[in-house]
Structure 1
Amino acid sequence: MIYSGLPLLLQPYAKVGAEEGWGNVTWKAVAEYKFTDDAMAYASVATGFKSGGFTGSASTAATATTPFDPEKATSYEVGAKTELFDHRLRLNSSVFYTDYRDLQVTRFFQPAGSGFGQFITENAGKARIKGLEVEATARPVRGLEVGGAVSLLDAKYVKFTGTPSQNNAGSFDGNRLRQAPKFAPSAFASYDLTLDSGAALSVRGSWKHQSKSFYDADNNPITVIPGYSLFEGALAYTAPDGRTTLSLWGKNLADKAYRTHVFSQRDSRVAFALFGEPRTFGLSLDYRR
């Protein structure tokens, strides 16, 4: 079926061949200092490498045979791990910074002057990610455990001039990286109870949130994934022998409609989204010999 203004166009394909090779040596250095048996700090520097390659679903022979460059990264991290109040509270934190060179970016777009959209993988000259992560777990009374985590992320293309499209000159400097929400907190609580028979009951609830993120380098609003929160819960019974566990669980308890992926076409004039599972309940039986 053809919709007005959105024709489906197919191009003939041809066999082409090309080859290329890449190599690299990476390294990592870590320093740790233990203040006490329950507190330590660390710092690390590491390099990373991702081999170059060829666009897998190119629409022209020239694109299919033109390789993209390897991706290189240098990461810095400083953090601390602590156990406090007689091991009733665990607190971990870290700050990190990653500097990318030639970051590989795959996008679907319509090249300027072309009637066809195509996938292409190309290199962003420079990109960087910096952030903070904090994680805490507490056991205030026997059987009860509560905890949470928070992640703050600032991820941007510093220097990225890609292939121009119909609606964009190809400059993405300062735009946010794909799938990089700025804020991602989470929390959970669980309670375990041992019965007189030796059986065990446990109940657990959790919450996680993700702020909005983008799926295209141009940060077009049509490819945004709005922020969302998810709630999950589970109730489990373990038999006295410890081998059999029956669990009743529920996911997305608030029945939130949320996107998990967005595909843009026609130079970000049209987008298709995949959605996460709706409210779901299940019953699981586990047996260990």
Structure 2
Amino acid sequence: RVALDYALDDDHLLYASAGTGYKSGGFNRGTSQAIYDPETVLAFEVGSKSSLFDRRLRLNLSAFYYDYEDLQLAQIETGPGGVIENITRNAASSEIWGLEAEGDAIPYPGALLNFALGYLHAEFERFPNVLDDLTGQIEDLSGNRLVNAPEFTATLGFEPYTFVFSNGATLVPRVQLHYQSAAHLRVQNKPEDRRDDFTRTDLRLRYSAANESWFAEAYVENLEDRSVLSSVSTGTLRIGPPAPSFKGTFMAPRVWGLVLGARF
């Protein structure tokens, strides 16, 4: 890996990097014993890091490009005898590139705003001869998007005020909004593999002692209580005549709780 950076001044930094990576191959456990090849990647990144408006705004920008050969993919497949297995397979070549912006700002004294935006292009350039467990057909998946690779993502967090008590303790409320555009959860990119775009809201209220020796934080995650798929897989029905089955795993529903912590 080679990396260069150049400081324009105390508040602006430019950087660029190029490198290669290697992940060894191996063989799968279980009934299939299928062998998978090593994975290699050629990676480039350029970006900037800036502090603006008397350092009331921190802004990081980056652009990246990854060129994979024999990308290793973890998949859930039906092996011999209808046994469901975790399998690693290779995609002949894949291309990933994107743009990212992230930072934080102080809109007024006592407040804090965090943000992150991302655009992602992630597709298989060559991925022929792939078996779809659901249909039993061999397909060419070249041009399909990678699994769980939404085109757009955005996160916005806001702490409207830090309340400081006379004893030095603090109370900080926080709200965080997250958005992901639609994504496919299997390499086949079929309509049944698609997860629609979604938003999620998290709330937190944190009390910290003056010397930060202990804290208490109440939280609510997934305030909307949305049912959002995190993964899907295929298998074989165990009841009745053997037939393909389709199942999904969901992200956590609305969760709330209280966290207590201390430093010793």
In the alignment, which residue of structure 2 is the partner of 1:248?
Answer: 218
2:189 maps to 1:189: no
In 1: Cα distance, 2:137 partner to 2:203 partner: 45
For normalisation by structure 1, the TM-score amounts to 0.81
Indicate which of 153, 175, 181 corresponds to 1:205. 175
Q: In structure 2, the residue corresponding to 1:222 is in which secondary structure?
A: helix
In the alignment, which residue of structure 1 is the partner of 2:239?
Answer: none
Q: In structure 1, the residue corresponding to 2:35 is in which secondary structure?
A: coil
Q: 1:272 Cα deviation (Å)?
A: 1.1
Q: Indicate the structure with greater strand content.
A: 2
Q: Find runs of 4+ consecutive structure 1 residues off by over 6 angstroms.
A: none
2:99 maps to 1:145: no
Kept in 1: contact 2:82–2:235 (CA 8 A)? no
Kept in 2: contact 1:108–1:117 (CA 8 A)? no
The correspondence of residues 38-49 of structure 1 with structure 2, limited to 5 A, is: 38-49=11-22
In 2: Cα distance, 1:117 partner to 1:126 partner: 28
Deviations 1:96-140 (A, max 9, x none): 1100001122434569xx884765433211110010001131112
In the alignment, which residue of structure 1 is the partner of 2:139?
Answer: 170
Count the aligned residue pairs. Answer: 255
**Percent same amino acid at aligned positions?**
33
Q: 1:269 Cα deviation (Å)?
A: 5.2
Which one-letter code corresponds to 2:255 in the other structure?
T
In the alignment, which residue of structure 2 is the partner of 1:233?
Answer: 203
2:155 maps to 1:180: no
Indicate which of 246, 251, 255 corresponds to 1:276. 251
In 2: Cα distance, 1:170 partner to 1:110 partner: 16
For normalisation by structure 2, the TM-score amounts to 0.88
Kept in 1: contact 2:76–2:234 (CA 8 A)? yes
Kept in 1: contact 2:78–2:234 (CA 8 A)? no
In 1: Cα distance, 2:233 partner to 2:8 partner: 50
Bigger radius of gyration among the two: 1
Q: 1:196 Cα deviation (Å)?
A: 2.1
In 2: Cα distance, 1:244 partner to 1:43 partner: 41
Q: 1:260 Cα deviation (Å)?
A: 1.6
Structure-2 change in CA distance of 1:245 and 1:209 (3 Å):
same
The correspondence of residues 28-177 of structure 1 with structure 2, limited to 5 A, is: 28-57=1-30, 59=31, 63-64=32-33, 66-109=34-77, 116=82, 119=85, 120-165=87-132, 166-177=135-146
Structure 1 alignment gaps of length 5 or more: 1-27
Deviations 1:167-214 (A, max 9, x none): 433311100111211111110011312122322111111011112222
